[in-house]
Structure formats: C-alpha cells, structure tokens
Amino acid sequence: MVFAKLNYSNRFEEIHKSLAILLEEHFDRVESGLQGDSWIWVWAANRKVAVDTFSAMTYEVESDKPGRHVEEVIEVLNKKFSVEVYAEPELEAHE
C-alpha cells in the first residue's frame, strides 16, 4: 500500500543519500541501495516501511499495513521534505 509521496525538484538519485541519512538518524535499522531505482527500508515498531522509486519516478512511502510505523516514518520525512499524505492508501499493482 502506498501511503504518501515526496515532492521535490531534484532527480531522485540526487537526494537518495540525504534521505537515507535522515532516516538513519531517527531509526535503528535502515537499509538502502541505489541502482536504477532507489530503495530505503526502515524498520519502525518492528515493521518494514519502504521509501522507494520502484512504482514511480518519485519516492513513495509504502508498507503492507497501515499503522504507527508508517506515521513515524512520514513524521521524520516531513522534517526536511514536502510529503503528500494520501487520504486513503493506494494499492500497488501487485496488491
């Protein structure tokens, strides 16, 4: 499920590192990579939240279920980025 998207003017490759560092400053477990697409996996409240560009050319905030874990990641992202939170989560193509 897609819960939000980030709004920014640069190419996603240009903000990958700063985005990953921001999340690493606030969460104990963060994994990331950049190869064709950008992906950052954050574990909050023992649940994975993905911040990636797999389904779009902009970063989206995704998780398998709604909850506080998603809200925590969005709160951190809002500190440095413009985040558009969807009123209702959008399903991904595989869901």
45-63: pLDDT as tens digits: 889 999 999 888 899 999 9
Q: Quick one: DSSP state of residue 91?
A: P
Q: Model pTM? A: 0.92
Task: State residue 55's pLDDT score.
Answer: 83
What are the structure tokens assigned to 87, written together?
Answer: 């009123």
Tens digits of per-residue pLDDT, 5-28? 999 999 999 999 999 999 999 999
Q: Does the pLDDT at position 92 exceed 80? A: no
Integer Cα distance of 95 and 90 in angstroms: 10
- The closest alpha carbon to 52, from 88, 12, 7, 17, belongs to 12
Q: Looking at the DSSP assignment, which residues form a beta bridge with residue 43?
A: 29, 48
